[in-house]
A and B are shown apart, each in its own frame.
Chain A
Amino acid sequence: MNDVLSRLLGPGELEVSCEVCFEELDRYVELELAGADAEAAVPGMAAHLRGCPACSEEHASLTALLIDGSTS
């Protein structure tokens, strides 16, 4: 699917809301960085991050910040 179609049609799967995404983001990112099954802990989070550009950017930023903090 091209980018425009992806943005129009979304992930098409069960996904959490933006509110739940924010509530769970810290736990989700720490689980991901620990190599744990973050999606099992927060079902629907991965789909939401594919569907919501804003939440996806913040997920990427928090991940990068924690990685930066662990290496600097």
Chain B
Amino acid sequence: MSPTGACDVLPGMTVPAPIVQPFDWVATLRTGGPAGDRALAELHALLLRAARFEALRRRASLPWIGAAELDDLVLQAADDALVAVLSRLDSFRGASRFTTWAYKFAIYSAAVTLRRRAWRDREVSLAPELWDVVADRGGSPLQQVEDGELRTALRCGIEALTAHQRDVLVAVALEQVPIDVLAERLGTTRGALYKTLHDARRKLRAQLADQGLLEVTR
């Protein structure tokens, strides 16, 4: 070995490529002991990196939060993600790289944490005025008539929804309340709320289709 750490290679000698075994995260994390501890620390570092990456992408939406609080939120998100990853190791199927699979937990955790923090002091109105949702495009008289019919149909369609569907649709689609924030305040989950939103949209589309107005929205 040379002083620089490079291998000395004689002329004509072929150096075999090092055999690199794919690192088995799942097995190593389950091993425990020093190897398991190292894997756990490395996994936490990866999750922290992903959570920090997500926080940087959202920094502009959180201008009033200081660096120290943001660091705390990022660390909390990474810790939560680590718990989620470890509790779901059995569900890792190898359909992607382990690191990609783990990253999605950190991104999700950081995104939810930071959305909720951004809305913490903001009121969520579940019954706002239904303003005109179709801007006046100022087109031909025919287009203006179509826009007016569309506005009326949308208003009627929204009013025909169940109260819960209407609340969710108006909050998410019109007020643009993040679905995680709404889920937290209503004591439910993102998935359940999205199902409600999906059903409301389907009913609204059907109503517009019945009146021959769905084409107008394209």
Interface of A toward B, CB cutoff 8 Å: 1-2, 4-5, 7-10, 12, 15, 17-19, 22, 25-27, 29-30, 51-54, 57-58, 61-62, 64-66, 68
In the assembled complex, the Cα of A37 lies from the Cα of B201 at a distance in Å of 28
B190 and A62 within 8 A (CB): no
Is B185's CB within 8 Å of the partner chain A? no
Other A-B pairs, 12, CB within 8 Å; known A7-B172, A18-B190, A54-B111: A4-B135, A8-B169, A8-B173, A10-B198, A10-B205, A26-B95, A51-B201, A52-B194, A53-B178, A58-B104, A61-B111, A65-B103
Tell me which residues from 169 to 191 in chain B have a Cβ below 8 Å from any Cβ of chain A: 169, 172-174, 176, 178-180, 190-191
21 residue pairs A–B, Cβ–Cβ below 8 Å: A1-B217, A4-B173, A8-B174, A10-B198, A18-B190, A22-B104, A25-B104, A27-B95, A27-B96, A30-B100, A51-B197, A52-B194, A53-B179, A54-B178, A54-B190, A58-B107, A58-B111, A61-B54, A62-B107, A64-B53, A66-B103
Q: How far is the CB of A33 from chain B (nearest CB, A)?
A: 9
Shortest 7 CB-CB distances between A and B: which pairs? A10-B201, A7-B173, A26-B96, A27-B95, A18-B191, A26-B100, A26-B101
- Assuming the contacts A2-B134, A7-B173, A54-B179, asked whether A22 and B108 have C-beta atoms less than 8 A apart, the reply is yes
Q: In the bound complex, what is the Cα–Cα distance between A2 and B137 (angstroms)?
A: 10
Question: Least Cβ distance of B218 to chain A in Å?
Answer: 6
Contact in complex: B107, A15 (CB < 8 Å): no
Nearest chain A residue, comparing its CB with the CB of B158: A8
Query: For B204, what are the chain A residues with a Cβ–Cβ distance below 8 Å?
Result: 8-9
Inter-chain CB contacts under 8 Å: number: 99
Q: Which residues of B contact A27 (CB under 8 A)?
A: 95-96
Q: Is B74 an interface residue (CB 8 A)?
A: no
A17-B195, A26-B95 known; A5+B100 contact, CB < 8 A: no
**A68, B53: Cβ atoms under 8 Å?**
yes
Q: Please report which residues of chain B, range 89-120, place their CB below 8 angstroms from some CB of chain A when the two chains form the complex.
A: 95-97, 100-101, 103-104, 107-108, 111, 115
From DSSP, what is the main secondary structure of chain A's interface residues?
A: helix
In the complex, whether B133 has a CB less than 8 A from a CB of chain A is yes
Q: Which residues of B contact A64 (CB under 8 A)?
A: 53, 57
Does A9 contact B205, Cβ atoms closer than 8 Å?
A: yes
Cross-chain contact A5 with B134 (CB below 8 angstroms) = yes
